Chains A and B, each alone.
Chain A
Amino acid sequence: MTDVSQRPLDVAADIDLTTTDPAPTNGQGLPGAVREPTALGAPGAVIPRSPRVVRTPRRPRELNTADLMTIVGSFVSAVCLCWLIFSILTKGVGWLGYGLSVFVVFLALVWIVTADRLGANAATDRVVSTVIFTSAFVIMVPLVWLIVFVIQKGWPAISHTFFVKDQRGITPTQPSTAGGAAHAIVGTIEQVGLALLWSLPLGVLTAVFLNESRSKWRRPVRIVVDAMSGLPSIVAGLFIYAVFILPYARTIPLFGFNGFMASLALAMIMLPTITRTVEVVLRLVPDGLREASLAMGSSRARTVWSVVLPTARTGMTTAVVLGIARAVGETAPLLFTAFGYDLMNTNPFKGAQESLPLFVYRNIKKPAISAVERGFAGALVLMGLVLILFMVARFIGRDRSKSQARRNRRRAVAQWIEEQEAS
């Protein structure tokens, strides 16, 4: 019995004695592998110093050279085939027909060649992918075209005076660089700002009502909000015109043509957009947070104010941007409210006011080349303004925790490298 129990120990001892200095491994099977520093585990364990193993990170690729050659070859063949058919053998078609024919032939060739190489299944997959990529590209075309077109037309009229001067004393014979659209920019900012002032609290409150209350009126209110989002914008302007301006303009100056009236019309446009966006964002706030808050003895209103709305803060900036983007380009509601004016009027509560869409509308209609150029310049500035607004909102609503984590990781890596150098 003693023999049997002793045996393994002996063997183990033998192995221990005979093994001469086993190469230390770092647990991954490869001796002396240099591990990348990580934020979590700046490895404290001793890594044996030995010849560096060179590692080249790579990713498996979806398309190999043969696939690319297939696509390029098919495209070239398609172009050549169509050229042969339409330009040599027949009298030819227009550029649209030519393009479409090339595309269809190209798809057919891709399918045939790929099916020959990889089978019908892979060929169908490749063709569908090609169609999807092409659609994405085609969608980009009108957008880029539009932007390039507006820049091309509007750029000549843009100078620094465009942002500081109004249209005082400008005659049709003067060049488009004379005068500016400062009055329109100021008007747009004031009107949209005021509209935001009215519609944001109202929209947020409506969204809170729709999402946080248990009222049986939620359904009708939601239907009304949906209906409002389909409201033609000119009707909003017409409504303000008929309800306030037409009956009261003579007696009450506040209800004349002015920026304030325009802001009311714009608020009607913004309200449904803001309400629906905020509602969606509020719905994303986990119910667990509401429960946690209520379980600590908070009232419902307090929960909404202190927990739900702060949690949905980033989403609400999105709502604001979408609301502004919806309203800033509207011309129709301003026609009977702000009315349009060629001179600077900084007071939104008194007198007709210009705004960028109105400036574009009024100038493009004028029978002078300089005015049309000025109109395009206004459109360009409007697009720039929207772009800036989007960037600002992205910046405000960015995910701070992510950048914080990145900073922490960088600090940890730097610290680890320092320690390595020190030791």
Chain B
Amino acid sequence: MSDTHVNVDPLFAGIPDVPGLDPTQPHHYVAEPTWVDAGTDTPSLDGSASAPVDVPLDAQERAVATKEIRLDGGPPPGAATLESREACAWFGGRLVLEGVNLVMPAGEVTALIGPSGCGKSTFLRLLNRMHELVPGAQLDGEILLDGEDIYDRNMRAQQVRMRIGMVFQKPNPFPAMTIKENVLSGLKLGRIKCSDKDALVEQSLIRAGLWKEVRDRLHEPGGGLSGGQQQRLCIARSLAVHPNVLLMDEPCSALDPTSTRRVEETIAELRGNVTVVIVTHNMQQAHRVSDKCAFFLAAENKPGVVVEQGLTAKLFSEPDDPRTFDYVTGQFG
């Protein structure tokens, strides 16, 4: 499961490996958006997706962050591959998303980009069965989580959602709970047992990049944090149940640049441990954080489709479709 490249993605075929890329060098945090010549930045396919990043974590923190904490009744360990096959979605009889085929490889970051109203968020909500919560919403196709269809008769939505966490556009920590309770809320809500809750809180907050800022006030209400901190608290909350996949719906759109950078660093930290799927309107962000990218587009009065998908570097440097080129170069949308 954690082995990313057992799944041979047909989309990756034909894209040349970039020789001479040093996997120990950080390549995801470029100071300036250099996507014009991003070809040299292409992540190699030999497993360097989990290459070290330039986020400083001291040795002690790293030890806590990678420590194995057992959860009873939680998701199975490791990242999982998510794959959609001919996924379609309707709202009240109106088709809004048609025939999406996309593989989101385990442990990698997949970005979904596209203009507003093209079905990115709907697709994201299809991935963890949040779509069906909307009255009148329907769907078709398959979403495979490590080969199992999450819409199978035998799959329970709650089990699926526990394995596939979600971070929303607006930070939404539970106001009636303290910071610590917020982090542990997933255990309470999903009836998961953990023997060492304090360690789990510390680990989740370190992984979300929030530990240093809140370790002295774990018993204060979560609503007292700043917007960026609240969003990272929500990420910590999602990570506490050890999900296989983390979906992020424009996680930085309500945040200032500093907080955005912090969240992006968090995403970089998660690479390899969790499969991340992120919806973003920010081209630079998609370029910075993602390994793979899918461009959604909806023509007028037509359902949204995936126009182009592939490695992020390729999509941003030499896209096959002219519409993709126009979008990523900012000529429309």
Cβ contact of A291, chosen from B133, B190, B238, cutoff 8 A: B133
Residues of A within 8 A of B165 (CB): 295-296
Given A286-B172, A289-B174, A294 contacting B185 (CB threshold 8 A): no
Please determine whether A298 and B176 come into contact, CB atoms closer than 8 angstroms: no
Contact across chains for A295 and B130 when beta carbons are under 8 A apart = yes
Q: Is the interface of A mostly helix, strand, loop or mixed?
A: helix
Chain B 212-242 interface mask (CB, 8 Å, partner A; 1/0): 0000000011011000000000100110010
Do B161 and A295 touch across chains, with their CB atoms under 8 A apart? yes
Q: How large is the interface on A (under 10, 10 to 19, 20 to 34, 35 or more residues)?
A: 20 to 34
Q: B126-165 interface mask toward A, CB cutoff 8 Å, 1 = contact, 0 = none?
A: 0010100101000000000000000000000011111101
Interface status of A26 (Cβ within 8 A of chain B) = no
Q: B161: nearest residue on chain A (CB-CB)?
A: A297
Contacting pair B135 A299 (CB below 8 A): no
For B234, what are the chain A residues with a Cβ–Cβ distance below 8 Å?
Answer: 292
Q: Choose the segment among A63-71, A236-244, A303-311, A372-380 that binds chain B (4+ C-beta atoms closer than 8 Å).
A: A303-311
The answer to the question of B112 belonging to the interface, with a C-beta cut-off of 8 Å to chain A, is: no
Chain B residue nearest to A288 (CB atoms) is B172
| CB of B186 within 8 Å of the partner chain | yes
The range of chain B's interface size is 20 to 34
Chain A residues, Cβ within 8 Å of B91: none
Q: What residues of B have a CB within 8 angstroms of the CB of A295 in the complex?
A: 128, 130, 161, 165-166, 168, 238
Task: Give A266 to B56 CA distance when docked, in angstroms.
Answer: 64
A297 to B191, CA, bound (A): 9
Q: How far is the CB of A403 from chain B (nearest CB, A)?
A: 12
| Residue contact A297 to B176, C-beta cutoff 8 Å | no
Mask, B181-223, CB within 8 Å of A = 1, is 0000110111100000000000000000000000000001101
Tell me the bound Cα distance from A307 to B185 in angstroms: 9
- The answer to whether B174 touches A311 (Cβ under 8 A) is yes
The reply on A124 being an interface residue by CB < 8 A is no
The reply to whether A401 and B223 contact each other, CB–CB distance below 8 Å, is: yes
Determine if B176 and A302 form an interchain contact, defined as CB atoms under 8 angstroms apart.
no
Partner of A293, one of B128, B189, B220: B189
Q: Does B33 contact A (CB under 8 A)?
A: no
Residues in B whose Cβ lies below 8 Å from that of A306: 185, 188-189
A292, B190: Cβ atoms under 8 Å? no
Q: Is A61 an interface residue (CB 8 A)?
A: no
Chain B residue numbers with a CB within 8 Å of A288 are: 168, 170, 172
B175 proximal to A (CB < 8 A): yes
Say how far B176's CB is from chain A's closest CB, in angstroms.
4
**Bound-state Cα–Cα, A371 to B128, Å:** 71
Cα A61 to Cα B47 with chains together (Å): 70
Partner of A297, one of B175, B177, B190: B190
Complex CA–CA separation, A181 to B130 (angstroms): 59
* Complexed CA–CA distance, A135 and B282 (Å): 55
CB distance from B192 to the nearest CB of A (A): 8
Which single member of B135, B177, B238 contacts A214 (CB below 8 Å)? B135
A398 to chain B, nearest CB (A): 14
Residues 379-423 of A, flagged 1 when their CB comes within 8 A of B and 0 if not, give 000000000000000000000010011000000000000000000
Please determine whether A291 and B189 come into contact, CB atoms closer than 8 angstroms. no
Which of A291, A294, A296, A311 meets B241, CB within 8 Å?
Answer: A296
Q: Complex: how many Å from CA A297 to CA B190?
A: 5
Chain B CB within 8 A of A313 CB: yes
Beyond A288-B172, A302-B191, 15 additional contacts (C-beta under 8 Å) are A292-B166, A292-B234, A294-B161, A296-B161, A296-B162, A296-B189, A297-B158, A297-B161, A298-B158, A298-B190, A306-B188, A310-B177, A401-B221, A404-B220, A404-B224
14 residue pairs from A and B, CB less than 8 Å apart: A289-B172, A289-B174, A292-B166, A292-B168, A293-B174, A293-B185, A295-B165, A296-B190, A296-B237, A297-B159, A297-B161, A297-B186, A297-B241, A298-B189
